[in-house]
Structure 1
Amino acid sequence: MKKLVESLDFVFPLHLMFLLLGITNDLSMALQRKDQDILNALDQVNITKKRLQAMRDEGRSKRKAPMVSNLHRYRAEICFATIDFLRQEINHRFDEETTNILLCVASLSPSNSFQAFDTQKLLKLAQFYPSDFSTGDLGPLENQLGNYIVDMRSKKEFCELKRICELSSNLVKTGKHVVYPMVYFLLRLALILPVATTSVERAFSSMNYVKNKLQNCMGDQWMNDCLVTFIEGMGRTVVDHDLLRYGDYV
């Protein structure tokens, strides 16, 4: 047992894990904070990507030295493969479109007297939903946003808010959701976005259990029926938990 723990096959992955967890720690913490700041979280995403790329490039630059089979194995098959997996996973979770949507959603935050408010970003957010906002709706939305932000910044009860869910709730309590229906609809879209994304990811993950090697020839309708049963039966509590947890964040 002692020889196994002291072997390079054990020590190298452990050391690599220590380095990678150190690089990704700030990003992990940023994504878990209840007072989640989307802009700072996205900054951490970009910083993590750059550090992982730098770590990979540093390892690649040393390959000019004579290649030894063991060196190649630890560098290419373990180190590079792990770094590439992490980068791929981060890119998958935060692709360009998702990042743009999150940057736009951040403009809805009431924190610091609506400091992040940006009309152009919110108009861009509306354009991500063409079935809900037509081209003709953008002009009225821009005017409504102008009235909305003047109104919000003039009310102490709104300027002291921190999260989007609190803003949405206060708009309903004061009847402002009727005065600014388009803005309120943007808020609703922002609130359901992460839950909808989580539900889609859960559906694809569930396919691995439903359509396994023993049932890989099932038709689409049968698979859909099985997925509904599987997700509704096992995922209802998880979805409710996600809704509560996201309420803390936004």
Structure 2
Amino acid sequence: MRLNASIYVARFLLTSGFPFCGHDESEGSEYKGAFLELLKWYGDRNFDVGRIILGNTPQNDMMICRTIHKDIVEACAKETTKAIIEDLDSDYYGILDVKRDCLYHLDRVAAENLLNKLHELELVFTLHLMFKVLLLTNELNKVLQKKDQDIVKSMGLLDLSKKRLQMMREDEWDSMKDEVSLFCGKHGILIPKMDEDYSNEKSKRKRSNILYLHHFRVEVFYAFIDLTLQELNNHFGVVTSDLLLGMASLSSVDSFANFHKDRIMKLAEYYPSEFGDKELREFNFQLDDFVVNAQKCDSMFLNLKGIKDLATMMIETKLDQTWSLVYLLVKLTLIIHVATASVKRAFSSMK
């Protein structure tokens, strides 16, 4: 009964497209998220269910954790896929087989339209372009999804991805066009002449004022790459990059292996109320002494795992007083994570 209750709630949230989890699911929270709130509502209205869920559960068997959520969602996905395959008579590619007798005329028309779309240059070109762009950003995507992120490596891959996309935009149009043309030739897909007027499928009667060459080169090729670059820039702007690289350069991991003075100085400049011109000059000298001491003289800096350990060690050894401005920036760096998380939660709850 407990499992079924969680499944019923999960199915409702999936069907409605609602999120499962809340920002604060603690007992004192006024709103614990859709899953827990709906499960409690269900238990309040069904005595048999209410007496075995949530706080009435023996030990730790409430079946409400996020791992359980994912298992239920995965099970729903498998059942949905199974139902679709059964509808297709166990033929995974049945929708493309327009020669088979369909149960309904509309199914036949839909299948024919899909098959026609697959044989259009527009779709073929777009899919080739998407595949190539995803390949260029694949390594960056994998690094960003890791729990333990190497910030310096991530930012390096970000810069590399931007450069490769820009190079593709400037130099690889001809090779892209030839690649798509070769594919279309092998599969019998019609390629219009590039110097002819572009025909928009949505308004065939209306003559366009652009050529096929302009459409595919400017409105598809350039536009898609520019959109990808814009997305990367939006997520990793100049300020974000400076903050991340400055934090990584200040990290004590592997005896300050990522130390980069210019990046740390840039990070300090983002706090003008704490680091004015006078403080920046003094910080410049303190930073040199601090790093030389940490890397070559003081064994206490060995085996530190990050900025949190560095801050703790500096307090315990009174080094926060010796290099007060270095410690100040370490403190401000620790706050960045908290401030960013708080802002994200605030915007998310507003949505």
Give yes or no for TM over 0.5: yes
> Which digits, 9 at most, give the CA deviation of each residue in 1:6-65, with x for residues without a partner?
4336554443332222111111223233443333222211211121122222455589x8
Counterparts of 2:140 and 2:333 in 1: how far apart (Å)?
21
Secondary structure of the residue aligned to 1:133 is coil
**Hey, what does 1:38 align to over in structure 2?**
151
**Hey, what does 1:92 align to over in structure 2?**
234
Q: Which has the higher contact order (CA 8 A, sep 6+)?
A: 1
Q: Match for 1:131 among 251, 273, 289?
A: 273
Unaligned runs of 5+ residues in structure 1 are 207-229, 235-250
Counterparts of 1:181 and 1:76 in 2: how far apart (Å)?
55
**Hey, what does 1:180 align to over in structure 2?**
323
- Cα contact 1:104–1:121 (8 A) shared by 2: yes
Counterparts of 2:319 and 2:151 in 1: how far apart (Å)?
25
Secondary structure of the residue aligned to 1:161 is coil
Which structure has the bigger radius of gyration?
2
Q: Does 1:7 align with 2:119?
A: yes
Q: Match for 2:162 among 25, 49, 57?
A: 49
Q: Normalising to structure 1: TM-score of the pair?
A: 0.66
Secondary structure of the residue aligned to 2:137 is helix
- Cα contact 1:177–1:184 (8 A) shared by 2: yes
Query: Share of identical aligned residues, percent?
Result: 37
Q: Does 1:67 align with 2:195?
A: yes
- Cα contact 1:161–1:167 (8 A) shared by 2: yes
Q: Match for 2:308 among 159, 165, 176?
A: 165
The amino acid of 1:123's aligned partner reads M
Q: Match for 1:29 among 123, 138, 142?
A: 142
Counterparts of 1:19 and 1:89 in 2: how far apart (Å)?
16
Counterparts of 2:338 and 2:125 in 1: how far apart (Å)?
38
> Which digits, 9 at most, give the CA deviation of each residue in 1:154-213, with x for residues without a partner?
33342222432332343344443344332122122223335544655666x66xxxxxxx
Aligned residues: 207
TM-superposed deviation, 1:91: 1.8
**Hey, what does 2:249 align to over in structure 1?**
107
Counterparts of 2:229 and 2:129 in 1: how far apart (Å)?
15
- Cα contact 2:251–2:307 (8 A) shared by 1: yes
- Cα contact 2:152–2:248 (8 A) shared by 1: yes
Q: Normalising to structure 2: TM-score of the pair?
A: 0.49
The amino acid of 1:66's aligned partner reads M
Q: Does 1:17 align with 2:130?
A: yes
Indicate the structure with greater helix content. 1
